[in-house]
């Protein structure tokens, strides 16, 4: 059996930054720490923070007035709309912004384009908090398209100027297909390629790895958009792809001694969970782990 773990598996810069922010606040502050929505899409991380007193809320009003002077509210990595920043300022609440810098850049692009009178098109999942947050920077007026089919069916005005952005974890190939359809409609568009470079690299590695193994393991939370994209990519190339959240979900007896196994993980998957899977698999008899050291992976 051989095991190959993707170089880019696990925490991306934005997620690590947001998670580290909350843990740093817990270590240094005596204030009550809240997060506006789960800080990342990973149940294990959220549960660990909750065990240390971090409370997840969906709106600042959930913090009692008498507690607000002692509260620190952390904006999650997915970002939020402008109205929530305005609400926090109005209430005089202390806020720490954990929004991924790449997502923050999209907020700026959308807000500036909207203020210039342009209509906004977002390629992405309208139910995802990142997309909902982006939409909040153009007064929730964006046209949200999730697929080439939706792009084809969309009724758009060729007389308008459009600014097009894309969810950071969206599949590049799908976005390219959607752009081709929108361009066929003869729209006047200013296109911003806002898929995160780390996401693009992770998806490319997953595609290449899944083409050269017998079985793929994708590690990540079931609610994680970027993990779901990795599962889709891997299943196209390797029908024996399994999606697990932790080692507890892995049925070891389905693996054989002569299997070539690939492992990747979503951007919200902690290094410790990836390491546990790799170590467990490597303990199976006659395993050859073809990968960097665990110390390098943790870095």
> Considering the entire predicted model, what is its pTM?
0.81
171 torsion bin: left (phi>0), alpha (psi -120 to 50), beta (else)? beta
The one-digit pLDDT tens for each residue of the chain (299 residues) are 789 999 888 888 899 999 999 999 999 877 899 999 999 889 999 999 999 999 999 988 898 888 888 899 999 999 999 999 998 888 888 999 999 999 999 999 999 999 999 999 999 999 999 999 999 999 999 999 999 999 999 999 999 999 999 999 898 999 999 999 999 999 999 999 999 988 889 999 999 999 999 999 999 999 888 899 999 999 999 999 999 999 999 888 788 888 999 999 999 999 999 999 988 888 765 545 455 455 555 55
Q: Which residues contact 182 (CB under 8 A, 6 or more apart)?
A: 121, 151, 154, 156, 164, 189
Active-site annotation holds for 239: no
Selected catalytic residue, list 29, 58, 89, 130: 130
Q: What is the DSSP letter of 264?
A: E
Contact 7, 31 (CB under 8 A): no
């Amino acid at each position: 059996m051989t095991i190959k773990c993707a170089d880019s598996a696990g925490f991306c810069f934005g997620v690590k930054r947001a998670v580290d922010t909350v843990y740093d606040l817990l270590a240094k502050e005596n204030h009550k720490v809240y997060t506006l929505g789960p800080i990342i899409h990973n149940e294990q991380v959220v549960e660990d923070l909750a065990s240390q007193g971090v409370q997840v809320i969906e709106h600042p009003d959930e913090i009692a007035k008498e507690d607000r002077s002692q509260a620190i509210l952390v904006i999650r990595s997915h970002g939020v709309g402008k109205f929530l920043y305005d609400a926090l300022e109005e209430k005089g609440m202390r806020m720490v912004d954990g929004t991924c810098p790449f997502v923050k850049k999209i907020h700026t692009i959308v807000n500036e384009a909207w203020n210039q009178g342009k209509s906004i098109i977002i390629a992405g999942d309208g139910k995802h908090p990142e997309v909902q947050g982006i939409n909040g920077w153009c007064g929730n007026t964006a046209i949200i398209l999730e697929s080439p089919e939706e792009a084809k069916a969309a009724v758009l005005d060729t007389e308008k100027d459009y600014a097009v952005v894309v969810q950071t974890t969206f599949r590049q190939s799908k976005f390219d297909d959607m752009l081709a359809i929108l361009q066929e409609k003869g729209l006047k568009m200013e296109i911003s390629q806002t898929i995160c470079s780390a996401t693009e690299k992770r998806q490319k590695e997953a595609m290449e790895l899944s083409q050269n193994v017998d079985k793929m393991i994708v590690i990540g939370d079931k609610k994680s958009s970027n993990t779901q994209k990795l599962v889709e990519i891997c299943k196209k190339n390797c029908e024996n792809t399994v999606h697990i959240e932790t080692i507890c979900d892995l049925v070891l007896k389905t693996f054989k001694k002569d299997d070539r196994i690939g492992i990747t993980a979503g951007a919200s998957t902690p290094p410790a969970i990836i390491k546990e899977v790799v170590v467990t698999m490597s303990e199976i008899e006659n395993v050859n782990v073809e990968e960097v050291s665990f110390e390098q992976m943790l870095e």
